[in-house]
Amino acid sequence: MPKPPERPRRRIAAEFYQTEVENEPVRDWLKTLSKVERQEIARDVRKTEYGWPLGMPICDSLGGGLWEVRTNLGARIARVFFCMVGARMILLHGIIKKSRTAPKVDLDTARSRKRNLEERLRAAAANPGRPGSRT
């Protein structure tokens, strides 16, 4: 009997960025959107997980280790900014884009969260037994 075809495997795994007090800003942002919009964004994040590395129109590099997943929501475009930590795709910040370029304040927020994550990862590596060293 022939073997069934192998199911595709995730190349990377998406995870929500957590603040020091374990809030998840992207998850909170997603909850403000409609169910259909959340599903569309999840579909594109999943495409990135299974197809990494992807290019436009779904995924694009913003430089400095910052990436974005773009989701067309009809008249609007959602952007989820992320960084890579090994084989993990850390979802840092999400917006509904109203202009051609991402607002500087939103890029700054994503970059700040990326820096914060990197600092916490360095501290956790230096002190592996320290409580609260989750990402």
CATH number, position 99:
3.30.2310.20
The arithmetic mean of pLDDT across residues 87-112, rounded, is 92
Q: Which residues of 44-83 are buried (b: 16+ CB within 10 A; e: fewer)?
A: bbeebbeebebeeebbeebeeebbbbbbeeeeebbbbbbb
Quick one: pLDDT at residue 132? Answer: 52
Domain count, the chain: 1
**Which range of residues forms the domain containing residue 21?**
13-126
> Cα(76)–Cα(34) distance, rounded to whole angstroms?
13
Bridge partner list, 71: 78
Q: pTM value? A: 0.87
Band of the pLDDT at 131, cuts 50, 70, 90? Answer: low
What are the tens digits of pLDDT across the range 57-94?
A: 899 999 999 999 999 998 899 999 999 999 999 999 99
- Given a contact cutoff of 8 angstroms between Cβ atoms, the answer to whether 117 and 85 are in contact is yes
Quick one: pLDDT at residue 133? Answer: 45
> Cα(16)–Cα(81) distance, rounded to whole angstroms?
11
Residue 25 forms part of a structural domain: yes
